[in-house]
Structure 1
């Protein structure tokens, strides 16, 4: 999929009128952000999960160590 996104961006950016200048992607689609970085395009991630799920994910190693 990353190769197809990169090709789509390249084909779209041929036009001077409609260029992709920023990619906004869900954090779970991190490869989109890697493609944007590789191509020098600004990028932003957002999270659709609840904040508690994010915190839990960051603390899983500690929970395992404490068990």
Structure 2
């Protein structure tokens, strides 16, 4: 995908009509920020869902590593809720 995005941006920028000077991307497509950086294009990340959901998603690996949930999301450590 990164290569295709770079090709698309190059094609649009070489068309002479309009130029892409910045990218706003969803967190789930963070790889596009690397493309923008490589092409020296301004970039921003956007998260349309709630901040609580973002925090939850970013914490999943810690919850797994700490043995609080399993790979299916089932709670393993019930003392947290007592």
Q: Could you tell me the TM-score, scaled by structure 2's length?
A: 0.68
Residue of structure 2 equivalent to 1:20: 20
Greater relative contact order structure (CA < 8 Å, 6+ sep): 1
What is the DSSP-based 3-state SS (H/G/I as helix, E as strand, rest coil) of the residue aligned with 2:28? coil
Unpaired segments ≥5 residues, structure 1: none
CA RMSD of aligned residues (A): 1.6
Matched residue pairs, number?
65
Which structure has the bigger radius of gyration?
2
Residue of structure 1 equivalent to 2:41: 41
Matches of 1:6 and 1:26, distance apart in 2 = 17
Q: Which ranges of 4 or more aligned residues in structure 1 deviate by more than 6 Å?
A: none
Unpaired segments ≥5 residues, structure 2: 69-82
Cα offset, 1:51, TM superposition: 1.2
